[in-house]
Structure 1
Amino acid sequence: MAASIYERAGGQPAFLALARAHHARCLADPELNHPFSHGDLDPEHVERLGAYWAEVLGGPSTFSGGLGDHATVLRRHAGHGDMSDLGRRFVACFVAAADDAGLPADPELRAALRAYLEWAVADVLDHEQEADIPPQLPVPRWTWDGLSPA
């Protein structure tokens, strides 16, 4: 059986490092820094993000076990207007952050990570209004083949 994306990336420590590196890259980006520099991001934001990405990509259910569900994530990002350019920048920061975090340079892993984040950004952009988001949504699961059916 092939290792999950989570395992191949390096497990929970790798996703926490990725979340930290991504956050730093977003703060350094002249366009993305605005939403990332507000005081409304609580101190656990980076840890939650790392747990969310880890769970989506094959890790333990830490995020959904007490931190929220997919609807929580979508609601956090809804209602901010056209974010297409920010989405592209967000993906670029993520791709670069994988290097910063020391994730394996494995091309298959990097392609899976990028494909997931491109899907995730499109999913957020598809839910522009909070009212359009169902009250509960399970955390999606992304595999080597893409989005796993529910």
Structure 2
Amino acid sequence: MTADKVPTLYEWAGGAEALERLTEVFYQHVTKDDLIGPLFAHMDADHPKYVAMWLGEVFGGPSRYTDERGGYPHMLSHHLGKAITEPQRRRWVSLLMDAADEVGLAGDPEFRAAFAGYIEWGTRIARENSQPGATPPPRAPVPHWGWGVAPPYLP
């Protein structure tokens, strides 16, 4: 990496390996959690890997989630009709942040602020999209998250 190139959040986090380590540890905790564990009772064994692919693409890594899993429409399909509650959303966020600490994900304030910003933003959208009667856009690009810059909100 050259001094004049700002690394992506993906690069700063440590790439695919770091994100896969994060999601493996995270989902180990999720499946044992009384509040959100039931939402993941029948999750595919590769679910942590797929979430790592999503996060990688969001944070500026390769477009693997789009190329291999179908991008935003596929992600959306996993949230529709789940009726995620606010306490469940908050627990998901809390467990992910704990897992980030546990696996030693970059802990500098700038990275963690950007990381936490996306996690808050993304989980709030997932909760909204999961509600009965929700009509989210069926097609949208995978968001691309940077250092303190959120994509524009398009209702």
Q: Give the alignment's TM-score, normalised by structure 2.
A: 0.87
2:124 equivalent to 1:147:
no
Query: Residue 89 of structure 1: CA displacement?
Result: 0.4
Residues 1:94 and 1:69: Cα distance change in structure 2 (over 3 Å): same
78, 100, 103: which one aligns with 1:101 = 103
20, 26, 32: which one aligns with 2:24 = 20
CA separation in 2, counterparts of 1:92 and 1:19? Answer: 13
Query: Residue 135 of structure 1: CA displacement?
Result: 3.0
CA separation in 2, counterparts of 1:81 and 1:144? Answer: 31
CA separation in 1, counterparts of 2:98 and 2:134? Answer: 33
Q: Which runs of 5+ in 2 are unaligned?
A: none
What's the secondary structure of 1:66's corresponding residue?
A: helix
Question: CA RMSD of the aligned region, Å?
Answer: 1.8
Count of aligned pairs: 148
Residues 1:82 and 1:7: Cα distance change in structure 2 (over 3 Å): closer
Query: Residue 106 of structure 1: CA displacement?
Result: 1.3
129, 133, 136: which one aligns with 1:133 = 136
CA separation in 2, counterparts of 1:147 and 1:141? Answer: 8
Q: Percent identity?
A: 32
Residues 30-58 of structure 1 deviation map (CA, whole Å, 9 limit, x = unaligned): 2111112x23x112211111000010011
Q: Which residue of 2 aligns with 1:42?
A: 44
CA separation in 1, counterparts of 2:84 and 2:77? Answer: 15
- Answer yes or no: is the 8 Å Cα contact 1:15–1:53 preserved in 2: yes
2:48 equivalent to 1:33:
no
Residues 1:75 and 1:107: Cα distance change in structure 2 (over 3 Å): same
Q: Which residue of 2 aligns with 1:113?
A: 115
Query: Residue 29 of structure 1: CA displacement?
Result: 2.0
Query: Residue 149 of structure 1: CA displacement?
Result: 4.9
Moved over 6 A (4+): none
- Answer yes or no: is the 8 Å Cα contact 1:78–1:130 preserved in 2: no
- Answer yes or no: is the 8 Å Cα contact 1:16–1:50 preserved in 2: yes
Q: Give the alignment's TM-score, normalised by structure 1.
A: 0.89
